Chains A and B, each alone.
Chain A
Amino acid sequence: MKDTASSQALPMARVRPGRIITWTLLFIGGVIMVTPLLFMLSTSLKDASQVYDLRVIPAAPTLDNYIEILSDGRFTRWFINSTIVAIIVTLSNVFFDSLVGYTLAKFRFRGRYIVFIAILSTLMIPTEMLVLPWYLMASQFGWIDSYWGIMFPGMMTAFGTFLMKQFFESVPDDFLEAARIDGLNEFTIWWKIAMPLVTPALSALAIFTFLGNWTAFFWPLIVTTSAELYTLPVGLSSFAVEQSVQWEKIMTGASIATLPTLIIFLFLQRYIVRGVMLAGLKG
Chain B
Amino acid sequence: MATIEIDRLVKAYGRTTVVHGIDLAIQDGEFVVLVGPSGCGKSTTLRMIAGLEEITGGQIRIDGRVVNDLQPKERNIAMVFQNYAIYPHVTVADNIAFGLYRSKLSKSQKRARVAQVAETLGLTHLLERRPSALSGGQRQRVAIGRAMVRDPSAFLFDEPLSNLDAQLRTQMRIEIKRLHHRLGTTSVFVTHDQVEAMTMADRIVVMREGRILQVGSPLELYESPVDVFTARFIGSPTMNLLPGAVRNNRIELSAGGSLPATATMATTPEVLVGVRPQDLMPTGSDAAGLTLSGAVVVVETLGSETLVHIENDGQTIIGSAPGRLIPKVGEHLTLHAPVDRLYYFDKATEKALAAR
Contacts and interface: CB of A to CB of B under 8 A. Distances in A.
Given A177-B52, A197-B89, A182 B101 contact: yes
A193 interface: yes
Interface of B: 50-52, 71-73, 77-79, 81-89, 98-99, 101-102, 143, 146, 150
A174 B83 CA distance: 7
A183 B52 contact: no
Nearest to A184: B101
A interface secondary structure, majority? helix
A134 to B, nearest CB: 38
The main secondary structure of chain B at its interface with chain A is: loop
Given A181-B78, A183-B73, A175 B50 contact: no
Given A181-B50, A181-B72, A184-B101, A175 B87 contact: yes
A248 B135 CA distance: 61
Interface residues of A, number: 14
B85 A175 contact: yes
A182 B73 contact: yes
Residue of A183, A193, A196 with most chain B CB atoms under a 10 A cut-off:
A183
Interface in A84-122: none
B98 A177 contact: no
A136 interface: no
A257 interface: no
A175 B84 CA distance: 9
Contacts of A178: 79, 81, 85-86, 98, 143, 146
A175 B146 CA distance: 13
Given A180-B52, A180-B73, A182-B73, A196 B89 contact: yes
Contacts of A193: 87
Contacts of A177: 50, 52, 72, 79, 81, 85
A172 interface: yes
Interface in A181-233: 181-184, 193, 196-197
Residue from B50, B85, B89 with most neighbouring chain A CB atoms (10 Å): B85
A172 B85 contact: yes
